[in-house]
Amino acid sequence: MKAYGAEFFGTFWLVLGGCGSAVLAAAFPGVGIGLHGVSLAFGLTVLTMAYAIGHISGCHLNPAVSIGLWVGGRFDGAKLLPYIVAQVLGAVAAAGVLYLIASGKAGFSLSGGFASNGFGEHSPGGYSMTAALVTEVVLTAFFLFVIMGSTDKRAPSGFAPIAIGLCLTLIHLISIPVTNTSVNPARSTGVALFVGDWALSQLWLFWVAPIIGAALGALAYKAVAEEA
């Protein structure tokens, strides 16, 4: 239960920090942090939580990561469903807190997207469903590759959170224009539940693509790193 609680609070922090930076700070007049700041914010949430709860739950914060680690032989399948439930609940709770904060400003509207992920007309850059699918699969695959590599027993000890946090930052720098960056079904679900409508109708892609990508990334790492 302690591990599930850690995943709840860790995912809460990821969504509040990452999506919160996008909703509240990205376009703030005069000092908006923009794409670069939002990218860094997501990376920092994982970096800080990896040091805070990595020794408790492994700091997955992401259903795709949990599934990928299971595929890669690094995670007990019996814990998979409870981890995913805890992650989604943490994301929804964080989105609720973010909504309470954001709606305290006059003129606030969910029509701005509330940091939801999308494709086609709901892609920040107008990218197609195919482009979104490829982006989410490939980037989640490399995310798992980095996670498995940096946490390998042969890797330098203590540096994994830095590598993983910077990897997530890079992923956002690449893909915010395409999908607003998911690579995390829980993150996508939390804010989509508040937006409803198109965000929910497109949510399937942000479950399917990251999970496929995570499995491929885990298998790729096993193929190149497995000891003889």
| pLDDT tens, position by position, 90-104 | 999 999 999 999 999
Taking the whole predicted model, whether its pTM rises above 0.85 is answered as yes
Q: Is 76 exposed, middle or buried (0-12, 13-18, 19+ CB in 10 A)?
A: exposed
User: Are 185 and 83 a contacting pair, CB within 8 Å?
Assistant: no
Residue type, 19: C
Task: Write the pLDDT tens digit of every residue in 168-210.
Answer: 999 999 999 999 999 999 999 999 999 999 999 999 999 999 9
